[in-house]
Structure 1
Amino acid sequence: MRGQRLLGALGVVLLLGAGCGIPAASDVRVDGKGGTASGAGSVNGQGSEPPTRPASGSANDTFVRNFLSAAAGEPDRAYERVKQFIAPEHRFQLQEKKGSEIALTVVRLREAVFTLNSDSTTTVKITVQQIGVLRTNGTLAPPVATETEYEFGLRSGALGGSGKDELAGLYVLDPPNVLLLSDVALQQYYRDASIYFWNSDRSRLVPDQRYLPDAVPEERRVNEVVKWLVGGPSDWLRPGVVGLPDRTELINNATGANNRWEVNLDMSVDDQTRIDQLITQLAWSLGNLAGELELKIRNNAQPVQDLNERRLSKKLYPITVGPQRFGVYEGAIRPLDFAGEPSGTVPLAAAVNRNIVSAGLARDDDTILAAMVVSSGKGRERLAVGTGRAPVSVLNRSASEYASISRPVWLRTMNARPARGLVVADGRLYRFDEAARMYQVPLNLPSAEVTAVAAALDGQRVALIAGGRLYVAAVDLDGGGVSIGPPRPLVTSLTGLSAVDWGSEDRLMVAGSAGQPAIYEISLDGALETPLRTDVGAKVNHLTSYPTNRTVPLPTGAFMYEANGVAYRNSPFERIGPERVRDIAPPPAGVRASNPSAPFFLY
């Protein structure tokens, strides 16, 4: 019999089930997770575990959706939950693993085809995109499997079994020998969280994305976070951060009662400064958890710390004011004015504010870090760099000219190190200094052709587009230079990637094609995607964002982009026309005003 096709992939059904309900072309930013799912218990108003097999009914699409959610939850029960969905006579085909070897294969669903067979069973073929491997330490590692399709069967409970529960609903036949988890189930039954590690000189905390099952009760959350910290950073982040001292172990479990949490570590450190840094590390890694923390080192108690007060006194990022919008108008940087937003003055002297193609500016206390791409004539470009108090009046220029230079980005630091940044020139990644000296940065990538780079607010992580693929990598700033750790490739449903910037600690803004030009928000492991704009209409050649953060937050993510020579902003979405450019004279009668280009944020 001809197969019945579930078009648009199960992912469409699941996204609707997650309660988003936002049109694809909407400019709404979605934070948090969706609606309620039936299951055991509830966390934050949603099901903490996916529906059981008897609760999954007899509708093929719903049952398969729940089967691909069954592994979600605490790892030690993952096989037990999945085997409930498998017919008893086929459960031996799923070879069980134990302890840290338990891993979930996370996939993005493309399509499902159901074919009814003559024996009343149904053959299911799902087309997937491999996203990664969810490990017991909460990390989503790069994918290991290469399968793009999985096939299994379904039969009615009435075709076998004797008990009431066994007769109800459906069973899986010939299951895949892996624990499959859909990307939507990952979003629905886990909370994504950041834990933090110190960079190499212990001047900056760097976030590391993890997933905690919603089924983990609140009183055990502290214990899980401490175990993650003891286990060390994610593999891709390791070159840019330092973990806890070797052989650090948790003594018993972290405990808590009446908003007081006790953590006891067997750790070889007697330096009080390091212990104080660990308390700060714990406070930020515990997110918004309130209450008091009592840290013990080998049963020796430290002074009790209020978690909120510690976070307030030890800021993550060295920013004190919100972002100001600027753009390039007729070769000069100009402020962009929008009602209700702060508007600044150009931090460059008029004598050097000319021939500018694009710019990356940053604040470092009272110092302005200015890096610009300037036109040197005949289609060639140079990098121009200047630092100092505003207005910056002296610019150094790169020794070489290039056919094309990307928007430069600064690596923000919290110490007295000289300022350094990154830029792409003629398909190669370079670091630059305050004198505009450029040094090529080696990258271990299949393709050497780099087209875009963006730096996180912590200055220790970068995102790259190279060979049409998206990567993230750790930055090592030791020794006065800049080295990039092995880049981690990210899987995304976008193609033709053209621009990237950081939208938050654990999210990227990425421009590419989803059948037509679009801008997506993508998690640092590629698992979670949110369309931000799907009606761009032309290739995005410039994208900039103010990253959401807890130091100087904005109510919604702010980004701007340029496509086909026209700049736009979000929230609310609008074209950035010449009327938004401050301090310009109106054009002569009959002459049409130019459009501003290459918009950026100064913060």
Structure 2
Amino acid sequence: MNRRLLTGLLGGVLLAASAGCGIPDNTEVRVVGPGPATEAGSSSGGPVEPPGRTASDTEEEFVKNFLSAAAGEPDGAYDRVRQFIDSADRSQLPVKQGSEVALTVVRLVEQPGIVRGPDEIRVTLKVQQVGQLGADGVLAPPETTAASYEFGLRPTVQESGDETEWFVVDPPSVPLLSVEALEDYYTPKTIYFWSTDRRHLVPDQRYLPRAVPEDRRVSEVVRWLIGGPSNWLRKGAIPLPDRPRLINNATRTDDRWEVNLDMPGDDSTRLELLGTQLAWSLADLNGQLELKIGNQSRLIIEDLEQRRQALPLYQLGGEAPRVFCVYEGAVHPLNYPDQVDAPVPVAAAANTGVVSAGFSRSGQRILAALVVTGGNGRQHLSAGVGIESVASFDRSTTGFRKVGRPVWLRSADPQEPVGLVVADGRLHRFDATADLHEVPVSVPGSVTAVAASLDGHRLAIVAGGGLYVMSVSQEGDGLALGSPRRLHTSLTGLTAVDWYSENSLVVSGSKGQPALFEIGVDGVRETELLRSGGATVTHLSAYPANPAAKFGMVMYEANRVAYRGFPYERIERKHVRDVDATDSGRSGNPTAPFFLY
């Protein structure tokens, strides 16, 4: 089956509006957007420079422009903000330039409060702290918990008497940048660092000001790579060795780029790794790339796109992902015209008492993990490995009240597969023998869901109703987790999560009512995908957008009813392969849908 065709048939978020589907008939159901496009090398148009102080016609517009003034080249950020501030108060914003620049990125939780007085206008901003944007394009965690800011506006009537201009008085002590301004004046860029075992490239999202001239953008990406991965990734990704230095800016002649580095201790293997890293980190470029070390040509990539095709980011195989569900305690394929006609890769004797499942590929092998119900009503994990099908399973000796959807780490050694699962509010790792070991996580509250990225070195978890990301690597017989990073979103009571693209997640939670959202990996992008109104999503599975599949796919379960993607339909008994849809003795619903890829 053609991957593009399947993407079109399954892409987007799932939704059903029919009676009895688990979502009340009288409840609003809304879908916004088609799902995320793959982000490698993404670029987009839009305004380059934020408006100046005098570009506003109303107080509301002035406040909006003030919250975008810092956007653009880092060296001028503080000066652009000062232009909005009354000269008597400009000293309240410290002088910083270059690498010292840090912009406080906030999400407005309500419209700015503007109270007009006889001599001054008072403005109150109710905000959610999102992060600190540095000169290196990294959005780091917030450095403050401030929930509001207050400042004044001093109106000045021009001599003509027809126009009013404003200055900020008593300003905030930090330069504020709204998430809208971040999305308007920056381009998200994905750069890549090698994993600790140098077997996988790990995505790292940065923000490039659209004001940066085109001929300098390659240099900025190279400087980011030299600076190393974002802090939260450092357990699963490594910086360039020997701290190289860029000699001058990268230069371009026609379709040939030249990068000149001071790189002590280089060798051919290291240069090839760097060449692949550059090819993917500059994924919007084609043509040639010459890498020089100390002005000496050391590596020429004749065609960047050919290098990317020859060394793909992810080993996903040539076929589209398969889709399955659980029906009457067994895993079944879903029977759709766009699906490959393939059997369940689990022996019939083991395919019983199933609550949920997680399958993955590792070369020619199938990794299978089943959550099954034991005779005592407790839930156990069964795991096994096989060639194209799994015949033999081992079951965990410990039973639990509740076991979540199991996931396999795609970064694991193919000979020693490793997975993660949540059991009774705690995170556990397991192997092909279903031997479970608790993995301590420094987050408040019980863990309720876990998801692993395509590269296998990043995790997302839901704990205590909050959303976290962290890096992961294998160390000996165990897993080492990086420090969890909390993503600050407007959703509350989160229940499920999965990766929706390289740098975004699909999460279920509440925003006045149950909803599905796409959340950026740093919490900036927050796009409503589905508002169901009554049914809480309890199970969520996605196939992430990636350079080989341009849009993400999602399936989910709410109120014991499963749904799949475009054209937003309920998964019914007739869609379950090897089941007689006319058998009146069968009345259950398909549940726990998931992908195999």
TM over 0.5: yes
- 1:25-424 matches, cutoff 5 A: 25-29=30-34, 31=36, 44-57=44-57, 59-111=58-110, 112-119=112-119, 121-158=120-157, 168-305=164-301, 306-320=303-317, 321-413=319-411, 415-424=413-422
**Which of 553, 570, 575 is residue 570 of structure 2 equivalent to?**
575
Post-superposition Cα deviations, 1:437-475, rounded to whole Å, max 9, x if no partner, equal 01111222233x211100001011100111221111111
- Give the deviation of 1:388 after TM superposition: 1.0
Residue 341 of structure 1 deviates from its aligned partner by 4.0
Gaps of 5+ in 2: 1-27
Residues 586 and 44 (structure 1), Cα distance of their counterparts in 2 relative to 1, 3 Å cut: closer
1:29 counterpart letter in structure 2: P
Query: Partners of 2:544 and 2:35 in 1: how far apart?
Result: 15
Give 1:417 deviation, angstroms. Answer: 4.2
- Other-structure match for 1:509: 506
The alignment partner of 1:280 has SS state of helix
Cα contact 2:103–2:133 (8 A) shared by 1: yes
Alpha-carbon distance change, 413 to 147 in structure 1, aligned in 2, over 3 angstroms: closer
From the superposition, tell whether residues 257 and 184 of structure 1 become closer, same or farther in structure 2 (CA, over 3 Å). Answer: same
Determine the structure 2 residue equivalent to 1:471: 468
Partners of 1:450 and 1:465 within 8 A in 2 = yes
- Pairwise CA distance, 1:293: 0.5
> Does the residue aligned with 2:595 lie in a helix, a strand or coil?
strand
Write the letter of the residue equivalent to 2:468: Y
Q: Secondary structure at the match of 2:235?
A: helix
Deviation string, structure 1 residues 379-438 (Cα, Å, up to 9, x no partner): 311100010113211111111111111110000137544110001111111110111101
| Alpha-carbon distance in structure 1 between the residues aligned to 2:363 and 2:489 | 37
Partner of 1:19: none
Task: Pick closer, same or farther for the CA change 1:90–1:166 going to 2, 3 Å.
Answer: farther
Shift of residue 66, structure 1, vs aligned partner: 1.1
Query: In structure 1, how many angstroms separate the alpha carbons of the residues matched to 2:444 and 2:44?
Result: 43
Aligned to 2:232, the other structure's residue is in SS state: coil
User: Residue 435 of structure 1 aligns to a residue in which SS?
Assistant: coil
Alpha-carbon separation, structure 1, partners of 2:321 and 2:384: 20
Mapped to 2, the partners of 1:27 and 1:80 lie a distance apart of 38
Q: What letter matches 1:109 in structure 2? A: L
Whether the 8 Å contact between 1:193 and 1:287 is mirrored in structure 2 is no
In structure 2, what residue type is equivalent to 1:571?
F
Q: Deviations over 1:227-248 (max 9, x none)?
A: 0010011111001111111332
Matched-pair contact (CA < 8 Å) for 2:410–2:456: yes
- Partner residue of 2:448 out of 433, 451, 457: 451
- 1:153: Cα distance to partner? 1.3
What do residues 558-596 of structure 1 show as CA deviations (whole Å, max 9, x unaligned)?
A: 10110111111222211111111111123544x463210
Secondary structure, counterpart of 1:236 in structure 2: helix
Work out whether residues 587 and 593 of structure 1, in 8 Å CA contact, stay in contact via their aligned partners in 2: no
Task: Give the conservation status (yes or no) of the 8 Å contact 1:203–1:415.
Answer: no
Structure 1: give runs of 5+ residues left out of the alignment: 1-22, 34-42
The correspondence of residues 432-443 of structure 1 with structure 2, limited to 5 A, is 432-443=430-441
For CA contacts below 8 A with separation 6 or more, give which structure has more relative contact order. 2
For 1:586, give the aligned amino acid. A
The 8 Å contact of residues 27 and 573 in structure 1, kept in 2 or not, is answered as no
The verdict on how the C-alpha distance between 1:225 and 1:49 changes in structure 2, with shifts beyond 3 A counting, is: same
Code of the residue aligned with 1:137 in structure 2: it is D
Q: Which residue of 2 aligns with 1:3?
A: none
Deviation string 1:22-63 (CA, Å, 9 cap, x unpaired) is x99224235579xxxxxxxxx954211111122222x12211
Alignment map for 1:562-601 (pairs within 5 Å): 562-586=557-581, 588-589=583-584, 591=585, 593-601=587-595
* Counterpart in the other structure of 1:539: 536
Q: CA 1:165 to 1:480, structure 2 compared with 1: closer, same or farther past 3 Å? A: farther
**Distance in 2, Cα, partners of 1:368 & 1:30:** 28
The answer on whether the counterparts of 2:44 and 2:187 sit within 8 Å (CA) in structure 1 is no
8 Å contact from structure 1 (residues 586, 593) kept in 2: no
Superposition RMSD on alpha carbons, in Å?
2.0
SS at match of 1:230: helix
Q: How far did 1:336 drift?
A: 1.0
In the alignment, which residue of structure 1 is the partner of 2:24? none
How many angstroms apart in 1 are the aligned matches of 2:509 and 2:333?
Answer: 28
**Which residue in 1 is equivalent to 2:545?**
548
SS in structure 2 of the partner of residue 268 of structure 1: coil
Q: Following the alignment from structure 1 to structure 2, what is the Cα–Cα distance between the partners of residues 166 and 190?
A: 35
1:246-300 deviations in Å (ceiling 9; x for gaps): 3321112212231211111111233211110100001101122112110012222
Residue 427 (structure 2) aligned to one of 426, 429, 434: 429
> 1:414 and 1:475 mapped to 2: Cα distance?
11
- Taking only the aligned residue pairs, the percentage that are identical comes to 52
Are the counterparts in 2 of residues 336 and 343 from structure 1 also a CA contact under 8 Å? no
Deviations 1:470-519 (A, max 9, x none): 11111111323212111111111100010000001100111000110001
After TM superposition, give the deviation of residue 302 of structure 1 in Å. Answer: 2.2
**Higher mean C-alpha displacement, 537-546 vs 437-446:** 437-446
Shift of the alpha carbon at 1:168? 4.9
Q: Number of residue pairs matched?
A: 563
